């Protein structure tokens, strides 16, 4: 169905300028390419532009200059609705603070992106059941987010991001709000989906533990890529 054979995600000459004070370049001429099935980890000190980059890659924010392409399609100048439609089909996003919909149960949260993508209700149910099982949340399916622990909420958020089988999952500090045990669980979950389902991941993190699973490490500093390291190349 997808005939694009180039990098699944790419950005060229990406810059983001904030007109505050004397002006600040959060990102400066960032060049990035992510191949299908890759596990890319982006690291860097606070304020280095990691989250800004991820927000732009996810279509949440827009670059001041440069272009972002997903499956060869430019999207950094798309309308808000086109971006939303693209996210519902192509992108899964995991946040540090889970960002679950408080009025929906765990199962409904996971199913929501698929409902927005107008998938068949039977497919939605079977996918939700599968993801609940994989994430170990079957018993918590009908619980609301406030009734779940931080680790459980993050697992629901990951399952939600993976539910519509997106081309790529972007994660912004997914373990930043979890204790070490929960962080391990989340990392294992990412590894499992990357290795078993070939899911592409771009993870912004401070957690060194992710390096064990990553194919590529990108280190940012002051909005520029200062290190690009292949850790575990895949075919």
Partner 1 sequence: MPKSRALLPQAERLRPALSWSMARLMSKRRLRREIGAAAVVALSVALTVAASMAVVCMVSQNGDAAAREVATPSLPAGAIIIFDSAEEAVSALEEAEGFEGIANLRRFPWANADTRLGPLFVLGALASVERGTLLCGPALAEEAGEGSSLEVWDADTGSLLGTWTVRSTGEYLPEGEYPEGWAWVSTDSLGHENLSGIAFDVTGDPSVVLSRVIKLSRSYPGAKVFMDGFTRHIVRKAALRAYLPWQAVSVMVALTAASAVSCVLAVSFLGRKRALGILKVIGATRPDLRRLVLAECWYLGYAGIPVGLVIGFALCKLGLSAPVPAAAFPASAVMGALALAGGALLPLRLTRNATCDQLLNNKAIYAFSNPSCAQCGLCGGF
CA gyration radius, the chain: 17
Nearer CB in complex with partner 1: 61/224:
61
CB 199 within 8 A of CB 158: no
How many residues of this chain interact with partner 1, rule: CB under 8 A?
42
Sign of CA dihedral 163, 169, 172, 173: positive
Least separation in angstroms between CB 87 and partner 1: 5
Least separation in angstroms between CB 190 and partner 1: 18
Which of 55, 153, 154, 194 is close enough to bind partner 1 by CB under 8 A?
55
Which of 7, 49, 59, 223 is close enough to bind partner 1 by CB under 8 A?
59
CA distance 140 to 115: 20
Residue 24 binds partner 1, judged by CB under 8 A = no
71 to 100, contacts with partner 1 by CB under 8 A? Answer: 72-75, 77-89, 93, 99-100
Helix intervals (H) in 58-200: 80-90, 106-116, 121-134, 150-162, 180-196
- In 3D, which of 93, 85, 106, 24 has the Cα closest to residue 55? 93
Nearer CB in complex with partner 1: 169/214:
169
In DSSP terms, 227 is beta-bridged to 219
Region of 61-69, 198-206, 215-223, 224-232 interacting with partner 1 (CB under 8 A)? 61-69
CB 172 within 8 A of CB 153: no
Residue 201 binds partner 1, judged by CB under 8 A = no
Nearer CB in complex with partner 1: 24/117:
117
CA distance 224 to 70: 21
Region of 110-118, 175-183, 185-193, 205-213 interacting with partner 1 (CB under 8 A)? 110-118
CA distance 29 to 22: 19
Least separation in angstroms between CB 106 and partner 1: 14
Least separation in angstroms between CB 74 and partner 1: 4
- Helix or strand run (H / E) with residue 70: strand 65-70
Q: Which residues bind partner 1 (CB under 8 A)?
A: 12, 19, 55, 58-62, 67, 69, 72-75, 77-89, 93, 99-104, 112-113, 115-118, 160, 164
């Amino acid at each position: 169905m997808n005939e694009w054979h180039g990098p699944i995600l790419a950005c060229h000459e990406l810059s983001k300028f904030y007109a505050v004070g004397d002006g600040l370049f959060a990102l400066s001429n960032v060049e990035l390419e992510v191949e299908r099935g890759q596990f890319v980890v982006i690291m860097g000190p606070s304020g280095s532009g990691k989250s800004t980059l991820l927000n732009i890659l996810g279509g949440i924010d827009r670059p001041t200059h440069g272009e972002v392409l997903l499956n060869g399609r430019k999207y950094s100048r798309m309308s808000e609705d086109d971006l939303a439609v693209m996210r519902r089909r192509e992108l899964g996003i995991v946040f540090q603070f889970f960002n679950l919909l408080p009025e929906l149960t765990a199962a409904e949260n996971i199913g929501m992106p698929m409902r927005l993508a107008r998938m068949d209700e039977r497919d939605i149910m079977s996918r939700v059941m599968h993801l609940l099982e994989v994430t170990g949340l079957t018993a918590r399916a009908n619980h609301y987010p406030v009734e779940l622990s931080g680790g459980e909420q993050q697992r629901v958020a990951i399952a939600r991001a993976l539910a519509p089988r997106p081309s790529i999952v972007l994660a912004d500090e997914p373990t930043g709000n979890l204790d070490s045990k929960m962080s391990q669980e989340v990392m294992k979950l990412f590894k499992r989906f990357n290795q078993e389902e070939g899911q592409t991941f771009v993870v912004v993190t401070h957690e060194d533990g992710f390096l064990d699973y990553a194919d590529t490490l990108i280190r940012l500093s002051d909005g520029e890529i200062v290190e690009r390291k292949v850790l575990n190349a895949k075919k």
